[in-house]
Chain A
Amino acid sequence: MFKSMLEAFLNLFRPIRTLKYPAEEIVLPSGYRGLIEYGIDACIFCDKCEKVCPPGAILFYQNEDGTKTYRYNPWLCIYCGECVRACPKPEEALWQSETKQLSALKEEGANEGWFVWEEACKQSREAYATAKKSAKIQNKSEE
């Protein structure tokens, strides 16, 4: 009892424990799990990252000429790093940075814009698959 009273009295002369945020920056430890970054030059478009991503934050759009477009939703991402571990070329094609994502603005369409994109990706794949199929049939009939 008297010990805790003494402790309380001594606390008057001890330094303050609270952090002075935002006047002082908070230093994050190195190795902080931040945004996923993508290097298009090394990517081989194997779609492995898309398949393993738990929330589905990486999606590839299938272009008509056979190439694919990468798109990533930083607000949906849970920063688990599963995609980087699945990537056959980590550090070159896909890697985890230490940057922190800020909150989304309305204009950025974190939700609605992504739903549109999800739908577009799905349709592009179906269209590509049917186009390929019909091309195959055409080739066969020509033969």
Chain B
Amino acid sequence: MKKTIQIPLGSQHISLLEPIRFKFECENEKIIGVDADVGFVHRGVELACTRSFEFKQVGYVVARVCGLCAITHSLSYTLAVEKLLGYVANDRIKYLRMLMVELDRIHSHMLCLAHTAENAGFEALFMQIMGDRELIMDVQEAISGNRVQFDYISIGGVNRDLTPELVAMIHKNLGVLTSKIDALIGLFDNNWSLSLKYKGVGVLRLEDAYTYNALGPLARAAGLATDVRAETSDFPYEDIGYKMILESSGDIHARNFLRLREIVNSITMCQNIVNNLPVGEIQEKAKGKPNGEAVVRVEAPRGELFYLVRGSGQNMLDRVRIKTPTFSAIPAMIEVFKGAEYADAPAILASFDPCMSCTAK
């Protein structure tokens, strides 16, 4: 007789935001085998980018891969095409792009924290964090003119400039948020019922992080010092106070804590950007047609986003390869699930911050 039982999680489950299916092979309460199915929302974006849209329009297409990291997708694509066109953006454009990416990171991390709290059974905290997240969403809406689909970055610059009212609003909202994040850090550190669900649960060891090529917050929580912001020279991150943040224990608590500390770092960076914004044009002409091959890596909220663009001097591109963070994180996720208790699975899953519409693209 078979000693194990199969329990599926997903594709529709109350603890999931997005469709993903895990098939857990369980021995009593312990998970011993995992099978993941991720292709529920495949839309063929890579194909559409090369067949239906010209290279100037593709930036708006790839922004629709994912709602949360829309800005990182359009940024990576735009950077790749600008490399092919031989265009280098001026400092003001770079700073404005960094500002949007860091704001995006703050609100994406807050969404993840909210969901980890909810999946650990703390629904009031979920509502509280989601309410605080509106501070950042409001800023982004005011800057770009839309709440989710920013369409802020275009080839050769950014579409809108900061006005003095916007600067005042950014300072005000970030100031309010700083005190709220401080309170959250205390709460995540000291709350006893949260620590039962978080501490020592879902551990990714450093060795496994190397073996399975973990990335982003998942790797940094395990102590693997990798961050694309420190590994590329496309943006002057050192000038605006970027610090790499590392934790060592690799459990859910470490991942939450890492995200909270990254939010604090991102807030500082946003304030520095707004205070030291260089003067310059926000739109410049980038002429020509993309010819050749370019790779771009950008640190999205969930880890490294990779774009490979190849063109042959025509309006249509030959290949747009999108490698999203969650796609690479799945082998490490499967490794973490092995040996965990089934009851902890939703909280562990939420702490990875998986983004399925990115993965299936």
Asked if B190 is at the interface (CB within 8 A of a chain A CB), the reply is yes
- Total number of A residues with any Cβ neighbor in B under 8 Å: 20
8 CB < 8 A contacts A-B: A3-B190, A4-B187, A29-B141, A32-B145, A52-B56, A79-B145, A81-B151, A81-B159
Task: Give 1 or 0 for each of A1-18: 1 = CB within 8 Å of chain B CB.
Answer: 101100110000000010
In the bound complex, how far is the Cα of B99 from the Cα of A94, in angstroms? 29
B160 to A52, Cβ gap below 8 A? no
In the bound complex, how far is the Cα of B53 from the Cα of A32, in angstroms? 26
List A contacts of B192 (CB < 8 A): 1
Asked if B138 is at the interface (CB within 8 A of a chain A CB), the reply is yes
Closest B residue to A86 by beta carbon equals B56
Closest A residue to B56 by beta carbon equals A52
Asked if B28 is at the interface (CB within 8 A of a chain A CB), the reply is no
Asked if A132 is at the interface (CB within 8 A of a chain B CB), the reply is no
Closest A residue to B187 by beta carbon equals A4
Q: A-B contact count, CB below 8 Å?
A: 50
B145 contact from A8, A17, A33, Cβ within 8 A: A33
Asked if B164 is at the interface (CB within 8 A of a chain A CB), the reply is no
B190 to A8, Cβ gap below 8 A? no
Residues of B near any A CB (own CB < 8 A): 53, 56-57, 60-61, 124, 131, 138, 141-142, 144-146, 149, 151, 154, 159-160, 183, 186-187, 190-192, 283
A78 contact from B138, B142, B151, B186, Cβ within 8 A: B151
Asked if A91 is at the interface (CB within 8 A of a chain B CB), the reply is no
- In the complex with contacts A1-B192, A4-B187, A4-B191, A31-B57 CB distance below 8 A: no
Asked if A80 is at the interface (CB within 8 A of a chain B CB), the reply is yes
Closest B residue to A19 by beta carbon equals B134
Asked if A39 is at the interface (CB within 8 A of a chain B CB), the reply is no
A85 to B56, Cβ gap below 8 A? no
Asked if A109 is at the interface (CB within 8 A of a chain B CB), the reply is no
List B contacts of A53 (CB < 8 A): 57
Q: With contacts A29-B141, A78-B149, A81-B151 known, what are 6 further pairs, Cβ within 8 A?
A: A4-B191, A31-B145, A33-B145, A54-B61, A80-B151, A82-B60
B160 to A79, Cβ gap below 8 A? no
List A contacts of B131 (CB < 8 A): 17
List A contacts of B183 (CB < 8 A): 7
In the bound complex, how far is the Cα of B147 from the Cα of A79, in angstroms? 12
In the bound complex, how far is the Cα of B144 from the Cα of A82, in angstroms? 14
List B contacts of A80 (CB < 8 A): 60, 151
A1 to B60, Cβ gap below 8 A? no
List A contacts of B154 (CB < 8 A): 82, 85
B151 to A79, Cβ gap below 8 A? yes
- In the complex with contacts A8-B124, A52-B57, A80-B60, A3-B160 CB distance below 8 A: no
List A contacts of B149 (CB < 8 A): 78-79
In the bound complex, how far is the Cα of B141 from the Cα of A81, in angstroms? 15
B141 to A1, Cβ gap below 8 A? no
Q: How far is the CB of B86 from chain A (nearest CB, A)?
A: 22
List A contacts of B146 (CB < 8 A): 32-33, 79
List B contacts of A78 (CB < 8 A): 60, 149, 151
Nearest 5 A/B pairs, CB to CB: A33-B145, A54-B57, A29-B142, A80-B151, A54-B60
Between A4, A8, A17, A52, the greatest number of chain B beta carbons within 10 A of the residue's beta carbon is seen for A4
